[in-house]
Amino acid sequence: MINTVGVIGLGTMGAGIVEVFAKAGLSVIAVDGSAELAERGKGFLEKSLGRAVSKGKLDEAARDEIVGRVSFGDDLGAMKDADLVIEAVPERLEIKESIFTTLDGIVREDCVLATNTSSLSITEIARATKVPSRVIGMHFFNPAPVQPLVEVIRSVMSDETLVEQVRELAERLGKKPVVVGDRAGFVANALLVSYLARSIRAYESGLASRSDIDAAMAAGVGLPMGPLTLCDLVGLDVIHEVCGVLYNATGDPSVASPSILRQLVTAGRLGRKSGHGFYTYDGVGSGTVVDDAATTAPAKPLEGKVGLVGEGDLVDALGSELSDAGVEVVRVVSADDAASLKGVAVTLAVDAVELDGDCCGGGCCGGDDASHGDVESGLEIGAKPVLRAVRDAIGDAGVIAALGEGSVETASTGDPTIDATIVPVVLHEKQRAGQVLEIGRSVAISDEAVETVRSLAAAAGWTPVVGKDRAGLVVDALLYPHLNDAAKMLDSGYATVEDIETAMKAGCGYPQGLFELLDEAGPDDVHGVLSEMHFETGEQHLVPSPLLTEHILADRPFRN
């Protein structure tokens, strides 16, 4: 039974781990490299507990009892009575190896040695010790007192009895443990940092602005924050280091540290902790963003009426939503009505391909006929009487926002003047942070047309996200490879669906697990968009997992 725990390294993470153990009633021996650092660690603990008292979550007597369970010092020799010792020192292999080899001569033979590493090999750390079977990974997430996930990592040398003891200890702490093998990034970081690296590369390549990339994933998917904001919060140096570990282990170029990330780290722009990162902050350690040269200007106020072309439940709902937002709407359902759009600046055309057919509009029919390719062909103005009539009514200066499903590409009409004013858009489901209208831009589309559609989105209360008119646009281009990584991890046998869902929800704060998101999107849609993206770029990480194909053929969700 583990009752006395030693913690080495009393920075923010180490002090948080001390708090977790002490709150759970364990005796804690807290050690750092000097008396001053140990006293600083004690200050971190007292400050954290003081905040809990001020918020009424803890009374003063309980606070004093928790602090009383901890002894602070700078002598590793104090670890001789510990049942488990965990280190939370910087992510450098030589430092961790030195600590554990020193502990070999201090701790009891039955003492478990745990490392809080987020990326280094447990096997390499264990190999440097006299008894590698007792070395285990116990990876907490920051802030440790708040985040429920603990990854328990075994190496091929680990004693399974000790692994089980550590898993049980994590449960005693009120945490949600996930037990996995020793692999780069483990579960949470392997999936999260891969997604962050690709998001950084998307920004670097000009797919979308930093604010639009962040809005795509926060307001478009419902994640706690956008990827670039998260990188600044975690620290760009940390992301850079983990990218290096992942790339060295996998050889996958998509997870290598992007050039812009390396430049920012070299320049000392590490995110919030330095006051500069992908964003600029109003001070060191602050989370308040201030404008800089890369800040995107807000959308201009919408001028005039909005045309709404189409019929069916979705179109009715959009009409009501626009009207409720104070937008004057002109409805059109046939070519005979198009003349009423004269002078309208922007017209939202819903599922343009079906306007001359029998579809009830906007994907509400439940059929599979309105494919991405159909949406493309629907934009051929000359072939569609309704859209041709709309174009004639609004004139060359008017803009058509062609609403489709999933990723869309603008089809050429052969008339550059017309092409410049047809903007493909995708409206996503409403999330707690808002509702995203993705706006595709290409060399054929004028900047004025894109800005007009941004104004429409802002007037409707939607969050406009402008990205290159590529397969997946922005939301799917970032989300679907993330889901594909989860499917590949599951297919490899490294972790179960439950492990992966727990890691991402309990460790990364995702409101939904990756397989929940995958089932909602549909394996067939994820597979299709990934295939389109792979065709465009040739990047190997975009090849759909064979497990996606299996689930499509079996018509089976990932979560039962």
* Residues forming the active site: 118, 139, 151, 189
d(CA 19, CA 15): 6
d(CA 238, CA 265): 9
436-441, strands of its sheet edge to edge: 329-332, 306-309, 346-350, 399-404, 422-427, 436-441, 463-468
Burial status of residue 265 (CB atoms within 10 A of its CB: 0-12, 13-18, 19 or more): buried
Longest dimension (CA), the chain: 90
Contact 495, 489 (CB under 8 A): yes
For residue 406, what are the contacts with CB-CB under 8 A and spacing of at least 6? 372, 426, 476, 525, 528, 529
Contact 91, 120 (CB under 8 A): yes
The tokens describing 222, both together, are 């419902």
d(CA 94, CA 29): 23
For residue 377, what are the contacts with CB-CB under 8 A and spacing of at least 6? 353, 383, 411
Instruction: Tokens 């990205």: give the residue.
Output: 467
CB atoms within 10 A of CB 168: 14
CB atoms within 10 A of CB 349: 26
